[in-house]
Structure 1
Amino acid sequence: MTNRADDIIDRRRLRRKLTFWRVVALLVVVLAVAAAASWAMGGPFGGGAADHIAKVRIEGTITEDEELLDRLERIAESPRVRGLILTIDSPGGTTAGGEAIYEAVRKIAADKPVVAQVGTLAASAGYMIASAADHIVARQSSIVGSIGVLVQFPDVTALMDKIGVRLEGVKSSPLKAEPSPFTPTTEEERAMLRALVMDSYDWFVGLVEERRPLSRAEVLAVADGSIFTGRQALDRKLVDGLGGEEVAIEWLASKGVDADLAVIEWKAESNGMFGSLSLAQAVARLLGIDALSPDLARAIGADRIFLDGLLSLWQPSSGALGE
């Protein structure tokens, strides 16, 4: 009886040891994959990949994304990147966010050919970023355009009257902290906002005029907030060609980039060894649970709720409001 108990204990110890070494082996594999990925992207584990065409995805609502700007900076500095494909699928976002990415793309284009490939949508600030490229390719059914700027604010004065709430305050001047959702908007406040919006709109139009083969009059004709299919955009010179990534690569080849080079997507770097996911998120993905995904807010459109400043955004609230 004692020998049988000892055998059971030994087997349990052996299983624990096997489990330990399996975990160690898994960690070694994960580290090796992380090192290989980091080496391919020129990260801390290696000296960088061979010459390649970089690809960066710009998707969802655009804000001032420091990680994306840093990634574009590294692409600009990498001697291994021979050209860049911007894959754009965005309704736009903040004007300042679009401006920051636009400037980062133009810095890359100073030394490397850059082509934008529009997927479903490149509107407002999304099109602003596309115009930073040297060449724009869109699908025939892509949505392009919505050139314009807006500022939005709610008016809850009727609700306050209904529930019996009144806001009082003391301010240094009539336009301080205006417009406010708690007071009716005056003509003076509207004039201030319109001047602000039109100044940014004039800047946006000038940017498109500078980057596209269009006169100012031709830009103004399409800069009324209208959206166009890829085919319509081609007729209006808002894009240069129709197709997908293969067409973008063909254009890069015409600029001296070897078409046989690998296209490597530069993705967001993480703060840890497990890529762009935290350990909990990685486990959730493995289990098929996406609730912990960092893209959840974007998927339900919640990221648009928290945009500040002037917007260059097509359909900012599920179609209720336009440019």
Structure 2
Amino acid sequence: MILLVFLLVMASSSWYEVAAADPQVPCFFIFGDSLNDCGNNNHINTKAKANYKPYGIDFPDGATGRFTNGRTTVDFLAEHLGFDNPIPPFTTAKGEKILQGINYASGSAGILDETGKHLGHNVALGTQVQNHQITLSRIVARKGDNETAAEHLNACVYYMAIGSNDYLNNYFLPDHYKTSNEFSVEEFATHLVSTYGDRIRTLYGYGARKIAVVGVGKIGCVPRTMDLFGTNGTKCIQNVNLAAQYFNKQLKKLVVDLNKELKDAKLIYINSSKLSYDDAIRFSFFRFQVHNERMLQSERRWTVCEGQSALFEQKRVCVLGFFPSDGGQSQDFR
């Protein structure tokens, strides 16, 4: 992931002139799901919340709504970009803080509006983009005019990591959603990527020029997914991973096409299936010695690990059945 920062920041020397102590970019905007949610779900009616222990046991502010014991991938990215603090959630960001970026990510959210709604409300990608329009109007008010605001936004990094829930909390849940009856796996990938492309074009219209688009990881190897759907003795659920591959292939092509279509835009596709946390989630129980921890179902029907804070070593990779820990995600920066 350090490579991602290098590619985005160094792609153009004219992006943003910085002093030694300043962030490498003026602002960092984040769109996504539970892997990067930092509190947007705290006050909405949903089972997909993380503002209670053991979430946040290794985070300075405790359980903030991050679906991990500590920091998320974008928290590490913000640090490497030079920001003093994590990017705040849309629900609480105020004042001058909005000029450095907003985190719009929402647990259980997907590219499609209906994704994850069996768990309650969430902020789907389309609504996240609408929320960015609200932020845009506030930035214009602070900058004084549209042109100055546009110059500011053109230099920002936009990070988009979403799509897993459209499979795990939509397509592969036929008791709740009709999509698997309406689309083949290939057709569903096309539908998702087409919708995704429309959202990116809207962001471009709002001033986004430097956009990182993250593919879906090996979701068929996530422990909780394997528990829900069963593996029939295999190491992972191959049809789920295959669906993710179809999606990623089309998403990568979308990035290529949008780089040609959108003037002055620089989009980068990030292959998340090669990031360490995917394999780390899968093998966490075997790689590291685990003491006095057990997997259980919480009242909110989300899988968590039970144990004392001192037992979660920095190298520990699994805190939750779906989500990588602080230690697991930090491996992407080594």
Q: Same fold by TM (over 0.5)?
A: no
Which structure has the highest strand share of the two?
A: 1
Query: If the length of structure 2 is used for normalisation, what is the TM-score?
Result: 0.28
Q: If you compute each CA radius of gyration, which structure gives the higher value, 1 or 2?
A: 1
Query: If the length of structure 1 is used for normalisation, what is the TM-score?
Result: 0.29
Higher relative contact order (CA 8 A, sep 6+): 1
